[in-house]
Structure 1
Amino acid sequence: MTLSQDYVADYASTFVKNLIEYSPKLISAFLILFIGLYAIGLINRLIRKVMIKRDLDPTLTNFLADILLWVLRVLLFVTFISKLGIETSSFVAILGAMGLAVGLSLQGSLSNFAGGMLIILFKPFKVGHLIEAQGELATVTEIQIFVTKLTTANNQTVFIPNGILSNGTITNYSLQKYRRADLTFSISYDSNIKKAKDLIMEVLNNNPKVLQTPKPEVFVKNLTDSAIQLAVRPWANNEDFGAVFTETLENCKAAFDTAGIVIQPYVKEFSATTT
């Protein structure tokens, strides 16, 4: 098959004519695209600065700024293709169908996204809080859209999906200003209960990290077959809790040794049945 020179010339002429006629739309569309991208970046930075100046939570700031960024980008893209002369109604219908298909295939991810929004809005915990959830006791280092990043005491990183995290039980150890340590000492029946209680109270009162309001408590918790159990309840600020817990154990043991009070070892009780 051969092409005549006249056909090629007509085709080239038509192409150049259409290009010249279409070039204003093309140029204006790309101008809108580039200017829009610059304006979106500028707006995003401005919104972030405003939210930071208003002392908004950093996690919420990043989340809202990211959502705004992608919404503006989608609107800019629709404007861009509309300026090129492409029908946006059919394009929006295609996007809707694609969104439905993607939504059905990513139900778990959407659940995690919704969980992330609930966590950010209702704030059961913040970055830096010590929490216990899904069998993990760790510090929150980052709240992302789909997962929450935790760091354990032995420096391991744990990622928990926001869906199950927002629907599960969360214990927040950092939400209150101070915590109570629940300790139990088992002493022998030969020991003087009042003397043991006085020694424990002396240890607690001599520790500057132990709060006096609320007051620490020492009382008989239980009388078992093998020991007298004393409950020790000191209060401490969150940052001093670990130190108060360990120092109370160590100092009470030393005081008991000096006073001759015997700590009764744990004895497991068995129930015998006869047949």
Structure 2
Amino acid sequence: METIVHWVDDNSSLIIHHLFQGLLALIIFFIGMKLAKLAANLTEKAFSKRKVDKAVGAFVGNIAYSIVFAATLLMALSQVGIETTSFVAILGAAGLAIGLALQGSLSNFASGVLIIILRPFKSGDYIEAGGKAGSVQRIEIFSTELRTPDNKVIIMPNSAIMSGAIVNYSREKTRRIDLVIGVSYEADLREAKNVLKSVLDKEPRILKEPAYTVAVLEMADSSVNFVVRPWVSTSDYWPTYFDLVENIKLALDDANIEIPFPQMDVHLHKD
């Protein structure tokens, strides 16, 4: 115990110096963390003020955070006496090894960059990609956040999005509703067609241009099928879709036009 006390007395100035350097390194690290978050927030706000898609701002903000964090870490290590030049070289070699091990993550990062450059969708768009569908909330460095209509959050790897087809339901201002309405073979086709047209004419959300289509599609097993294809604003798609299905059913009922269900006729022959 006495030896330790003597060693502390003899090296007190050195101990104080290292403690001071360590404390300074911690202060630099914590300040750097704050600055990294601040840099990310300021980047997002700058993009937002210029009316750039907020998903792009979030992506660039994440990159700014990573750069400031890495610089802070190197400064803190340098403060405690670690040679950062050799440390950077070690990090480079380690980064190569980690990069080979984490090819999937690098693929996600590269896909995120492609999403920002190619802009197949923007924040708020309703898309279908990688077998999932939802509204785009944020584009991160490695993943994209989607929100489903029933308020579920889906975190999609960027590589999964860019590796297949992307369906963007929100890019165009208009969408076409496709309905197939079947009537019985006994029904008057002209009357049925007029009833369908009257329902479309009474719906104010249906666009005049392009004009809607009502035509006989096919003579199916149990019904004669009409195709009903009106155009609406993208924001009105689902409300109009639901109302049309209901109104068409009510109008056909009022006109005594049967909407058949699948059926089979069995004929028995006696010898």
TM-score range, shorter chain: 0.7 to 0.9
What aligned pairs does 1:85-234 form with structure 2 within 5 A after superposition?
Answer: 86-234=82-230
What is the aligned length? 263
> Amino acid of the residue matched to residue 68 of structure 2?
L
| Alpha-carbon offset, residue 133 of structure 1 | 2.3
Deviations 1:160-179 (A, max 9, x none): 22211111112111111121
How many angstroms apart in 2 are the aligned matches of 1:38 and 1:137? 35
Deviations 1:129-182 (A, max 9, x none): 222223333333333332223233333333322211111112111111121111
| Alpha-carbon offset, residue 36 of structure 1 | 6.1
Gaps of 5+ in 1: 270-275
| 1:273 alignment counterpart | none
> Amino acid of the residue matched to residue 257 of structure 2?
I
Deviates more, 1:160-169 or 1:201-210: 160-169
RMSD: 3.3
How many angstroms apart in 1 are the aligned matches of 2:165 and 2:150? 23
How many angstroms apart in 2 are the aligned matches of 1:133 and 1:162? 10
| 1:272 alignment counterpart | none
TM-score (norm 2): 0.80
How many angstroms apart in 2 are the aligned matches of 1:96 and 1:79? 17
**Are 2:242 and 1:246 aligned?**
yes
Cα contact 2:56–2:139 (8 A) shared by 1: no
Cα contact 2:145–2:154 (8 A) shared by 1: yes
Deviations 1:50-77 (A, max 9, x none): 3222112212112212212321332343
Q: Which has the larger radius of gyration?
A: 1
| Alpha-carbon offset, residue 260 of structure 1 | 2.2
Deviates more, 1:98-107 or 1:16-25: 16-25
How many angstroms apart in 1 are the aligned matches of 2:112 and 2:264? 45
| Alpha-carbon offset, residue 38 of structure 1 | 6.6
**Are 2:64 and 1:68 aligned?**
yes
Deviations 1:82-128 (A, max 9, x none): 46554333211211122122222222222222222222332222232
Cα contact 2:58–2:138 (8 A) shared by 1: no
Deviates more, 1:87-96 or 1:195-204: 87-96
> Amino acid of the residue matched to residue 208 of structure 1?
P
| Alpha-carbon offset, residue 41 of structure 1 | 5.9
| 1:262 alignment counterpart | 258
| Alpha-carbon offset, residue 235 of structure 1 | 1.2
Gaps of 5+ in 2: 266-271
How many angstroms apart in 2 are the aligned matches of 1:180 and 1:89? 61
1:52 to 45, 48, 51: 48
TM-score (norm 1): 0.79
Deviates more, 1:102-111 or 1:144-153: 144-153
> Amino acid of the residue matched to residue 232 of structure 2?
A
Distance of aligned partners of 1:245 and 1:35 in 2 relative to their CA distance in 1, 3 Å threshold:
closer
> Amino acid of the residue matched to residue 70 of structure 2?
V
Deviations 1:199-244 (A, max 9, x none): 1111001011111111111011112343221100011112221122
How many angstroms apart in 1 are the aligned matches of 2:19 and 2:149? 62
How many angstroms apart in 2 are the aligned matches of 1:115 and 1:211? 38
Partner of 2:261, secondary structure, is coil
| Alpha-carbon offset, residue 25 of structure 1 | 8.1
